[in-house]
Structure 1
Amino acid sequence: MQYPSTDFLIIGGGILGAATAWSLAQRAPAGTRIRLVEAGMLATATTSQAAALLTRVRPDPAMAALVAQTFSAIDQLNKVLDEPLPLRQVGSLHLATREAGRQYLHSTARTAADLGLTTERLKLDDVIQRAPWLSAAADAEALYVAEDGYMDPVQLAQGYITAARHLGVEVVQHCRVQSLVRQQDRVVGVQTDQGFMAAGCVICCAGPWSTQLLAEQGVSLAMAPVRSHYWITEDNTDLFPADSPMVILPDANAYARPEVGGLLFGLRDQQAVYGDPASLPENIHGYLFNCDPDGWECLESGWTELAEVFPAIEHLGIAHYLTGVSSYTPDGKPLLGQTDRPGLLVATGCSGGGIALSGGIGRLLAELALGQAPFCDQSPFALNRFGDVDPFSEAFRIRCALARSKKQSG
């Protein structure tokens, strides 16, 4: 099929590609041609695997600005969509039972105050009332952040796409980008399984597939495919009311939120569980990582700490186990901006936070692509901040996987 040239071509129809398309369409001059190309169906790859916790407290001000922009984007989308997006703004409850967790709570409270967010210290009776499944010793500490929430990630991505289409963005599904095309040093388009597409600017939002795609052009992305996974219990609406908050458990290295009558809970691997960016399949669902294929080792290693605050897990059944691929960087911050190839920008490496960061990333990439002043500091997300790296080396992939192990927040 012959496609006409376009001003901007976005690779990837997940949450980041969708948000970037919408933000670009909002800010580009009238008549600008924007095309989004997705290998399969929109938002059915890594986006659909996300737990989608929208936590606003981030120690880095630039990260906090990205999340705040996502909440602003949701408000904007609700004004143009036929139905409002299903944001569950139930707040987040952070529970600490050990000294390390208490230090995390104190730091979170200070950062929230700096960001102008509302926090509340909770007594244990209040904790149980808000989240009946929790149990903690009398000396435990709890902090509640009212503005946080969660959302179905696919519905948010579809919201971005619908609004982008209203603004004239062309969406092409079931079209796989096979390679980038250069003339001299500049990227001038992409070769797809449906033919060549010329573009004035290419924005790569292809998630974990970005590493191999850009490596063929001599661009090394400092990230690795790392396992994210979670379990969903059987239904128990008495323990898991739909309006109960998300829960962050720093001492157990865990998080949880309600999920259609049950509880969705995640544990972060203490060992390095990662994949190979050179051999990712087209269908990412059911991808097998280097070890612990069913998550039993992770669940067993975190069971004692989790059961201390979630005693019902000893007798509740597990209804589902879901595993996904997250693109992790060594510092847990995304890779955003212009590559050293003119005409090529990238947005990836969200380290498990892509849903929460999506609105801000979309806006930042649109501003950079259009040569506008960015709304927040982009330096924490610089592509070259780690120096020269080999994203295909096992040592580097282990480094990225361990960054997930050290993560405390949602």
Structure 2
Amino acid sequence: MHTYPRKPYDVLVVGGGIIGLVTAWRAAGRGLRTALIDPEPGGGAARVAAGMLAAVTELHYGEQTLLGLNLASARRYPDFVAELEEATGLGTGYRACGTLAVALDADDRAHLRDLHALQRQSGLESEWLSGRECRRLEPMLAPGVRGGLRVDGDHQIDPRRLAAALLTACERAGVTVHRTTVTALRVVRDRAAGALLADGTELVADQVVLAAGSLSGQLAGVPDEVLVPVRPVKGQVLRLTVPPAYAPFLSRTVRAVVRGSHVYLVPRENGELVVGATTEELGWDTTVTAGGVYELLRDAHELVPGITELPLTETRAGLRPASPDNAPLLGPTALPGLHLATGHYRNGVLLTPITGEVMAEVLTTGELIHEARPFTPRRFTSLPADVREEQPA
């Protein structure tokens, strides 16, 4: 027998990672009767993410439009964290510690110099340091460091603690959390109208937000013409522990390109050190491989030789949700009542504050705020299917 709420929810959020949670929390804060569906809310990519809030050091050529959204979200982070921590009494591990991006050889140094020029052209604050100045800031760095960029505005947060706080915030705001799986979108008269759950229950809703990360493109019942062009990109990450005798090991996030591969080390206040991350186009595979662990430790060792003395406490692999242009899909789709909040790729944690704001505004007024307008899901729907599938990463 199907069960129904006495009246439809105003909003049904499919997916309980940090993006789904912040969407549900902000929707409830606007007075919308909100439900969230996820078998393990607070899980997903946040369990693997390092939590770098790196709008400046994550800048890539061709992504200047995304930079605007990233910076807008970074500016919101201090107030967002203060509000969330006050609402829940839970810490998020937010640290305004800055980031140091370093080069280990002449090619990497040239690449970093180019990045510095791009940052300056984009109006961003970063300071070029010599190798000696880098080692003065972080004495554990390898002697061969050739130079680096000091970015005091790129901070960090602990995504696992962030997810836990957001889940608590949702529950306190009155969000109904269904710890189960969605099997299909409910469509009535060419409009999204809720969801069918694994136990046969139908949930009725005026609006549905699909925020299921890499799985967002897999939901049954979504019409073919409503494209959700996200794919999984595997990332392996390591966690080590810095014993008290070794502290302080690093005072800020340190990152580099080693033989063309990006590596970063993120030190937490609790003594944890996160090392990541591989980027692998391997579909839905989440296997932790010896090769992935080896490459991360090898590259991290070249950067900070003392890392091999630390206990290795966790290895994990997860899936980042990537869109064809590596930017998120935010807002209404061509199917009335269905909205997307997915495709955040490398920037899900960074974009959490502004995503919550964007989606709450869309759900209450139907309008995208200025910063989010370039990221409407409809930017992909005019492409032929075969072209969409072949869009470069």
- Could you state the TM-score of these two structures normalised by the residue count of structure 2? 0.83
C-alpha distance in 2 between matches for 1:163 and 1:209: 24
Q: Distance in 2 between matches of 1:380 and 1:37?
A: 23
**Which of 2, 11, 21 does residue 8 from structure 1 map onto?**
11
Tell me, in whole angstroms, the C-alpha distance in 1 between the residues paired with 2:208 and 2:107. 44
- Any idea what SS the aligned residue of 1:331 has? coil
Please, which moves more after superposition, 343-352 or 380-389?
Answer: 380-389
Q: Distance in 2 between matches of 1:110 and 1:20?
A: 36
- How far, CA to CA, are the matches of 1:19 and 1:33 in structure 2? 14
RMSD across aligned C-alpha pairs, in angstroms? 3.1
CA deviation profile, 1:336-389 (whole Å, cap 9, x unmatched): 221110000011111132111111111112222222450414214544338244
Task: Give the Cα separation in 2 of the matches to 1:103 and 1:215.
Answer: 50
Determine whether 1:87 maps to 2:94.
Answer: yes
The CA distance in 2 between the partners of 1:322 and 1:272, in whole Å, is 16
The yes-or-no answer on 1:294 pairing with 2:288 is: yes
Q: Name 1:344's counterpart in structure 2.
A: 338
Q: Distance in 1 between matches of 2:177 and 2:300?
A: 44
Kept in 1, the 8 Å contact 2:183–2:220? The answer is: no
Contact 2:9 2:35 in 1 (8 A): no
The alpha carbon displacement at 1:227 in A equals 0.8
Using the alignment, how far apart are the partners of 2:369 and 2:5 within structure 1?
31
Task: For residues 271-311 of structure 1, give each alpha carbon's deviation from its aligned partner in whole angstroms, at most 9, with x where no partner exists.
Answer: 63222xxxxxxxxxxxx44xxx3332334556665443232
Q: TM-score, normalised by structure 1?
A: 0.79
Residue 191 of structure 2 corresponds to residue 186 of structure 1: yes
**Aligned positions of 1:361-372 closer than 5 A:** 361-370=355-364, 371-372=366-367
Cα 1:83–1:328 change in 2 (3 A) is closer
Alpha-carbon separation, structure 1, partners of 2:139 and 2:12: 48
Is residue 34 of structure 1 aligned with residue 39 of structure 2?
A: no
Q: Deviations over 1:68-124 (max 9, x none)?
A: 334442233344443553212211111023455335534554565577764333343
Give me the whole-angstrom Cα distance separating, in 2, the residues matched to 1:181 and 1:373. 24
Q: Is the 8 A contact 2:91 2:161 kept in 1?
A: no
2:273 to 219, 238, 263: 263
Residue 207 (1) aligns with residue 213 (2): yes
Aligned to 1:309: 303
Q: How does 1:7-406 map to 2 (within 5 A)?
A: 7-26=10-29, 28=30, 32-57=31-56, 58=59, 59=64, 60-106=67-113, 108-109=115-116, 118-137=125-144, 140-166=146-172, 168-192=173-197, 193=199, 195-213=201-219, 216-218=222-224, 219-237=226-244, 239=246, 241=248, 244-251=251-258, 252-259=261-268, 260-269=270-279, 272-275=281-284, 288-289=285-286, 293-300=287-294, 305-313=299-307, 318-370=312-364, 371-385=366-380, 387-389=383-385, 403=393
* Matched residue count: 375
CA distance in structure 2 between the aligned counterparts of 1:301 and 1:100, rounded to whole angstroms: 19
Q: Which whole-Å CA distance do the structure 1 matches of 2:302 and 2:152 have between them? A: 25
Cα–Cα, structure 1 residues 205 and 351, in superposed 2: closer, same or farther, change >3 Å? same
Most deviating of 295-304 and 229-238: 295-304
**CA–CA distance in 2 between the matches of 1:317 and 1:16?**
32
8 Å contact 2:233–2:320 — kept in the other structure? yes
Give the whole-Å Cα distance in 2 for the aligned partners of 1:73 and 1:101: 35
Q: Which runs of 5+ in 2 are unaligned?
A: none
**Residue-by-residue CA offset, 1:120-179 (whole Å, 9 max, x unaligned):** 3334344334434321426x111121122222213223333444444x432223132221
CA deviation string 1:2-47 (max 9, x = no partner)? 3231111111222011111222234x3xxx4322322223202332
The residue number in structure 2 matching 1:279 is none
**Matches of 1:315 and 1:165 in 2, distance apart?**
42
- Mean Cα displacement is larger for which, 17-26 or 118-127? 118-127
**Match of 1:280?**
none
Structure 2 CA distance for partners of 1:79 and 1:307, relative to 1, 3 Å: closer
1:211 Cα offset (Å) = 0.9
Secondary structure of the corresponding residue to residue 180 of structure 1: strand
Q: Report the AA paired with residue 134 of structure 1.
A: L
C-alpha change, 1:257 and 1:389, in structure 2 (3 Å) is: farther
Q: Distance in 2 between the 1:353 and 1:303 partners? A: 23
Structure 1, unaligned runs of 5 or more = 276-287, 404-410
Q: CA deviation at 1:213?
A: 0.6
Supply the distance in 2 between the matched residues of 1:14 and 1:96 (Cα, whole angstroms).
34
Structure 1 outlier segments of 4+, above 6 Å: none
% identical aligned pairs:
24
SS in 1 for 2:351: helix
Assess if the C-alpha contact under 8 Å between 2:192 and 2:338 holds in 1: yes
